[in-house]
Amino acid sequence: MMYRLVTLLALIMATLSGMPAKAQDGPLRIEITEGVIEPMPFAVPEFVAGGAGGQVAADISNLIAADLAGTGLFRAIPSNAFISRVTSFSSPIQFADWKAVNAQALVTGAVDVDSAGKLVVRFRVWDVFAGQELGSGQQLVGTTDGWRRIAHKIADQVYSRITGEGGYFDSRVVFVSETGPKDKRAKRLAIMDYDGANVTYLTDSASLVLAPRFSPTGDRILYTSYETGFPRIYVLDVQSVSRRVLETQDGAMSFAPRFGPNGRNVVYSLTKGGNTDIYSMDINSGVSQRLTSAPSIETAPSYSPDGSQIVFQSDRTGTSQLYVMGANGGEARRISNGEGLYGTPVWSPRGDLIAFTKQSKRRFHIGVMRTDGSEERLLTASFLDEGPTWSPNGRVIMFTRETQGATGQANLYSVDITGRNLRRVPTAGGASDPAWSPLQ
């Protein structure tokens, strides 16, 4: 019976495959529903140097390639595989040569130093197989010391023209720098480029500092300091490195601050009388408003991008879970429903996802879920992962990963929201509590 059935099916399949389709009406129509997911090969030949811009031209080219390749979405073709050389910014592109090395995108540019000593960088992006330019050429002018920012900005433009979404290369990260042994670790605030370069320290290591957060414009930083023995929130001006305390209630501990999207409101946790609730404050007037009044611990609040909602963690049901409430408080709805403990939620700048830390089965994870708690996906798993922060375009998450053991150290890692491209962010020593700035 089975033999006959298989024979019949085989005959049907053979007949169908060889049978002409029904009469074709109009052009041939094909539907493609599956593709491939792989890094796009691209080439950045060394920018044409004019005047004294020789080394800078090479540095800029290399940094653009490193930025793009670091996303995991692109693959840089090594320069020794290039067939043709770009000797002039205005000369026509030999697309056949770039097709031969399978470069799908090409970035060409030129670097000059003008009479005022300014760096002038021009660039173009090409779709090699289409033989067309993507967008139009641009020119950036800056100081020679700021060549890294120029390169990051060009990489942002290339990324945006190919992927259709904004980049995140010209951004910075504030974090807690950690030095010394684990039982006597010194912590201080530091700020760096997203790729770990240009580290600048903002505080000394005399007191414990925690949880720095950028303002929406990137010019101020909120953080918690134990300078007085009590945790208190401070706001620091990045340019002048001046600071002031934000919450001064006697006998109260304030922590876990985060700016609202308008840059005026700050939401934070305040412990008073043994109870921890969430408050918001107008940073200019200093007027605060209590948003929760449960006897449990409510903390780690984070605004939605439109400022209408707040996601936070609470143990009101006995275990730490995630809840969403209106920006002015009110009834909260629980959004985390999986097994384990949830904490440190952060709303995506796109508004579609919430990143969180999850502890389950003695492992820590960084995960994302929809704002209603659906489609939870865990992106990482290790001994201790925590404290996610979103890239400005909502595509990458940076977090703290701490290794196990007495000699364990905290480091910063980043991962794509697909769960791919997990990589360590290079820092001089230990680092924790990252917070990503907006694009500069």
Partner 1 sequence: MNTGNIISGIGHVALIGWALAGPLFRPTPKPFEVTQVTAVSEEEYAAIMNAQRPNDAPTQEVQQPEIQPTVQPDIAAPVVPDAPQESPALDSQADTAPQQQPAPETAQPAAPDATPVPVAPAPETQAQDTTPVLEPPAQDMAALIPQTSLRPKQRPVQRIAPEQVAPPEPDTAVDDVVRQEAAPAESADTPVEEQEATAPEEAATEIVTEAEEAAPVTPSPPTKSVRPKTRPTRTAAAPETQAAPSTPEPDADTGTASGIEDALAAALGGATSEPAQTSAPSGPPLTGGEKDALRLAVQSCWNTGSLSSDALKVTVTVAFDMAENAKPKTETIRLIDSAGGTSGAAQQAYEAARRAIIRCGARGFNLPVEKYASWKTVEMVFNPERMRIK
What would the two tokens of residue 181 be?
Answer: 């042994």
Locus of tokens 């985060």: 258
Q: How far is the CB of 143 from partner 1 (least distance, A)?
A: 32
Q: How far is the CB of 401 from partner 1 (least distance, A)?
A: 12
Spatial CB neighbours of 34, under 8 Å, sequence gap ≥ 6? none
Asked if residues 127 and 134 have their Cβ atoms less than 8 Å apart, the reply is yes
Q: How far is the CB of 175 from partner 1 (least distance, A)?
A: 11
Give the nearer residue to partner 1 in terms of CB position, either 333 or 377. Answer: 377
Give the nearer residue to partner 1 in terms of CB position, either 3 or 116. Answer: 3
CA dist., res. 348 & res. 147, Å (int): 30
Give the nearer residue to partner 1 in terms of CB position, either 149 or 185. Answer: 185
Q: How far is the CB of 129 from partner 1 (least distance, A)?
A: 4
CA dist., res. 359 & res. 382, Å (int): 10
Give the nearer residue to partner 1 in terms of CB position, either 8 or 197. Answer: 8
Give the nearer residue to partner 1 in terms of CB position, either 157 or 269. Answer: 269
> With helix as H, strand as E and coil as C, how does 312-366 read?
EEECCCCCCEEEEEECCEEEEEECCCCCCEEEEEEECCCCCEEEEEEEECCEEEE
Asked if residues 61 and 49 have their Cβ atoms less than 8 Å apart, the reply is no
Q: How far is the CB of 117 from partner 1 (least distance, A)?
A: 37
Give the nearer residue to partner 1 in terms of CB position, either 40 or 428. Answer: 40
Q: How far is the CB of 423 from partner 1 (least distance, A)?
A: 16
Spatial CB neighbours of 340, under 8 Å, sequence gap ≥ 6? 358, 359, 360, 361
Q: How far is the CB of 210 from partner 1 (least distance, A)?
A: 5
Asked if residues 218 and 438 have their Cβ atoms less than 8 Å apart, the reply is yes
Supply the Cα-derived Rg of the chain in whole angstroms. Answer: 26
Q: How far is the CB of 271 from partner 1 (least distance, A)?
A: 5
Of the candidates 176, 204, 206, the residue with the CA atom closest to the CA atom of residue 192: 176
Give the nearer residue to partner 1 in terms of CB position, either 343 or 392. Answer: 343
Give the nearer residue to partner 1 in terms of CB position, either 43 or 111. Answer: 43
Burial profile 111-141: b = 16 or more Cβ within 10 angstroms, e = fewer: bbbeeeeebbbbbbbbebeeeeebeeeeebe
